[in-house]
Structure 1
Amino acid sequence: EAADNSAGIHFYLDDYQFERFWNKPGLYIDKLSQFDCVLTPDFSLYQDMPLPMMMWNVYRSRLLGQMMQQLGLTVIPTVSWADERSFEFCFDGLPLNSTLSISTIGVKKSDKANQMWQRGVLKMIAKLHPKQLLVYGGQVDFIYPDGIDVVYYENDNIRRLRGL
Structure 2
Amino acid sequence: MEKTGVPKYDTHRIYYWDDAELVGSHKLPQLAPQTLIPHDVVSFNERNAVKDPSEHWLDFFIDDDQFERCWTEFERGMVGDSNTERNSWRSLDRYIPQLMRFEGVIGTDYSMFPEMLPDQRNWNCARNRVFAYRMQRHGIPCIPVASWCCEEDWDWCFDGLPEESSIAVSTNGCCRNAGTRRMFRRGIDELIRRKRPYAVIVCGRSFPELEGCEASLMFYPSFSQRMKERIHGR
Q: Tell me the TM-score normalized by structure 1.
A: 0.93
Could you tell me how far apart the structure 1 residues matched to 2:119 and 2:219 are?
31
Could you tell me how far apart the structure 1 residues matched to 2:53 and 2:101 are?
10
Sequence identity, in percent?
29
1:8 aligns with 2:8: no
For 1:127, which of 194, 199, 221 is the aligned residue? Answer: 194
1:105 aligns with 2:172: yes
Q: Residue type matched to 1:96 in 2? A: E
For 2:97, which of 30, 33, 57 is the aligned residue? Answer: 30
1:159 positional shift:
2.7
Report what 1:90 is aligned to: 157
1:9 positional shift:
0.7
Could you tell me how far apart the structure 2 residues matched to 1:49 and 1:85 are?
13
| Secondary structure of the structure 2 residue equivalent to 1:100 | strand
Report what 1:52 is aligned to: 119
Q: Residue type matched to 2:97 in 1? A: D
Could you tell me how far apart the structure 1 residues matched to 2:179 and 2:216 are?
26
1:21 aligns with 2:85: no
| Secondary structure of the structure 1 residue equivalent to 2:55 | coil
Counting helix residues as a fraction of each chain, which structure ranks higher?
1
Report what 2:213 is aligned to: 144
Q: Residue type matched to 1:14 in 2? A: D
1:117 aligns with 2:166: no
The count of corresponding residues between Structure 1 and Structure 2 is 162
Q: Residue type matched to 2:108 in 1? A: P
Report what 1:153 is aligned to: 220
Could you tell me how far apart the structure 1 residues matched to 2:97 and 2:129 are?
18
1:4 positional shift:
3.6
1:96 positional shift:
0.2
Deviation track 1:88-119 (CA, whole Å, cap 9, x = no partner) reads 11100010011000111122210010011111
Task: Give ranges in structure 1 of 5+ residues lacking alignment.
Answer: none
Counting strand residues as a fraction of each chain, which structure ranks higher?
2
Q: Residue type matched to 1:140 in 2? A: F
